[in-house]
Amino acid sequence: MNPIPSFIELDRLIQQLRAQCLRQDAPPILESEWKRLKHCSQYLHDSCHATSLELGQISSALAGLLTLLDQSEIEHLDREQAYCLLEPFTRRLQQSYRQLQELS
């Protein structure tokens, strides 16, 4: 079993905590902790989804760039042209990396 729970497992755990909150003998703090956990789970899910979309776009763009570079008509690419092609990807990858770092 993976030590890091999936979002499905996390949702199941949140629902189990909610069921415990609804019991009459449950401590009142469970309700506030349940709300906080649910909010954190949604934030993580949204952040991972946004980062995944960003990385997917970068991956597709890089694949297109590789296809372009593989074309036989391009025989020479100077340093400045290569920089101009790759610099936007570098910035986007760095931004996605920072977003993932914030989650960990």
Q: 84 lies in a domain?
A: yes
pLDDT, position 54: 84
Q: What is the pLDDT of residue 26?
A: 80
DSSP state of 68: H
Q: What is the mean pLDDT of each run of 10 residues along the chain (104 residues)?
A: 69 85 82 87 86 86 79 68 81 83 72
For residue 79, the model assigns a pLDDT of 73
CA distance 85 to 65: 8
| DSSP run (H or E) holding 90 | helix 79-103
Provide the domain limits for residue 43: 7-103
Of 49, 54, 47, the closest CA to residue 95 belongs to 54
Residue 86's pLDDT is what? Answer: 82
> Does residue 1 lie in a domain region?
no
- Give the tokens for residue 1: 């079993």
Residue-by-residue DSSP string for 4-67:
SPPHHHHHHHHHHHHHHHHSTTS-THHHHHHHHHHHHHHHHHHHHHHHHHHHHHHHHHHHHHHH
- Whole-prediction pTM value? 0.64
Domain count for the chain:
1
Identify the residue whose tokens are 């899910």: 45
